[in-house]
Amino acid sequence: MLRIHVSRLDLSRVRMATRPDALWETILSFHRLRDRRASTIFGKWRTETRTRLNGEVHLLAAVVPPRGYFPDFLTPSQEGAEPFGLDTGMEALRDTPADRVREELELLAAGRQRQRAGRPAGQRPPGRASAALPAALLEGRAEPLGRLIGALRSYHHAAVEPYWPHIRASIEADRAVRGRALLDGGADGLLATLPPMIRWRSPVLEADYPVDRDLHLDGRGLLLQPSFFCRGTPVVYRDPSLPPVLVYPVTHPGAPEFAEPGPWLGRLVGHTRSAVLQAIGNGCTTSELARRAGVSLASASQHASVLREAGLVLTLRHGSSVLHTLTPLGGSLLRGGAPLALP
């Protein structure tokens, strides 16, 4: 179990990330790529992604094991609530001091040695190619770190970037739910609405976790970072001196459809549905939607369903109600087709 100790000062400094973090999504998606579970949500994504990969997997597998610890420097930290985009994240990763890279890779190597010691007889050990990169990085040279950054960038383009609008929409929907909780109940209310594997028992935020650990915030506050590819349990930095971040899984309301817009756009023609889309704005319940758009509750629910099928709206449960939010595609449609900004 993970226990995060939250003082009243820390509670006043709890904040939500403004968008998905490119490197957290990249690293956590690499876990999902090798995980056969949750096929309903990630099965199609795995199939499509594997067809676009080349040699990136071998390089990344050297520093990102299927489970357990991976180096903190792969997901650079910062003080604010504005997560890293891909380019700024890569720059921060490249600036990691050589001694920190060496220290964290030594921790990774020690963990792998413990795993090998407990491996059943006859089970195949890691290949030589996967062990080569950490050894080179341990020497503190820039060239192997550059190779790792190149592999991360290439993997991101293949596995994450094509699905970024859906990832971003999921995070924005989660932010809408947490934002309502914050307005209704303050930081206490916000922490109480986090996914079921996280439990707010003031002054301690408990979470299911692979190991037993206590994290003291010591007045630094806590950044809540929702993640599309996080699954099962939240993630925190191993180094307690880094800015505290809790990466937690968003709620997946169903199997995502990673697809381009199709003939369903014809279903959107009509003043009423356009008004409904505009009424959703920054998020609303079905009752609020009916009131804003001037339609019946049943009609608001039906219109929201069509918009959801079209990929323009996401719907998540918020207490006894449901909360509708626009996807980036829905927002772009209202703006007249303005391009989506990637990180």
Q: For residue range 136-193, list pLDDT tens digits in order.
A: 666 656 678 888 999 999 999 999 998 888 888 888 888 888 888 888 889 999 999 9
pLDDT digits 0-9 by tens, 56-82:
788 899 899 888 899 999 999 877 677
* Distance of alpha carbon 22 from alpha carbon 156, whole angstroms: 8
| Selection from 216-225, 279-288, 292-301 with the highest mean pLDDT | 216-225
Rounded to 5 degrees, φ, ψ at 67 are -155, 165
Rounded to 5 degrees, φ, ψ at 249 are -75, 135
CA-closest candidate to residue 157, choices 56, 258, 77 = 56
Q: What is the pLDDT of residue 128?
A: 41
Q: What is the pLDDT of residue 233?
A: 92
Q: Angle at Cα 195 formed by Cα 194 and Cα 199, nearest 5°? A: 65
Q: In the structure encoding, which two tokens stand for residue 258, read together?
A: 């990673």
**Range from 59-68, 133-142, 218-227, 256-265 carrying the lowest mean pLDDT:** 256-265
Is residue 305 within 8 A of residue 322, CB to CB? The reply is no
- CA–CA distances in Å: residue 232 to residues 23, 207, 210: 19, 10, 10
269 pLDDT band, cuts 50/70/90, is very low
pLDDT digits 0-9 by tens, 198-213:
999 999 999 999 999 9
Strand, helix or coil for residue 249: strand
Q: What is the pLDDT of residue 260?
A: 44
Q: Which residue in the block uniquely carries the two structure tokens 């089970």?
A: 123
CA 60 to mean position of chain CA atoms: 18
Cβ neighbours of residue 91 under 8 Å, at least 6 residues apart?
none
Q: How many residues does the chain have?
A: 343
Strands 222-227 and 245-249: what pairing?
Answer: parallel
Q: What average pLDDT is seen over the chain? A: 83
- Tell me what percent of the residues of the chain surpass a pLDDT of 90: 40
pLDDT digits 0-9 by tens, 96-145:
998 899 899 988 888 777 766 665 544 544 444 444 556 666 665 667 88
Four-point Cα dihedral 218, 236, 246, 154, nearest 10: 140
Is residue 225 within 8 A of residue 174, CB to CB? The reply is no
Q: What is the pLDDT of residue 236?
A: 96
Average pLDDT over residues 214-230: 96
The model's pTM? 0.75
Task: Return the axis-axis angle of helices 142-159 and 22-33, rounded to nearest 10°.
Answer: 80
Query: Looking at the DSSP assignment, which residues form a beta bridge with residue 313?
Result: 326
* Distance of alpha carbon 172 from alpha carbon 178, whole angstroms: 10
Query: Looking at the DSSP assignment, which residues form a beta bridge with residue 224?
Result: 16, 246
Q: What is the pLDDT of residue 8?
A: 95
Which residue did the predictor score with more confidence, 341 or 236? 236
Query: Looking at the DSSP assignment, which residues form a beta bridge with residue 87?
Result: none
DSSP 328-343: HHHHHHHTTSPPPPP-
CA-closest candidate to residue 170, choices 228, 229, 125, 223 = 228
* Distance of alpha carbon 289 from alpha carbon 174, whole angstroms: 18
Q: What is the pLDDT of residue 253?
A: 60
Q: What is the pLDDT of residue 249?
A: 94
Q: What is the pLDDT of residue 262?
A: 46
DSSP 95-133: TS-HHHHHHHHHHHHHHHHHHHHTSPTTPPPPPHHHHHH
Which residue did the predictor score with more confidence, 338 or 331? 331
CA-closest candidate to residue 207, choices 228, 232, 225 = 232
**Range from 22-26, 43-47, 222-226, 251-255 carrying the lowest mean pLDDT:** 251-255
Q: In the structure encoding, which two tokens stand for residue 95, read together?
A: 């600036």
Q: What is the pLDDT of residue 27?
A: 96
Is the pLDDT reported for residue 331 higher than 80? no
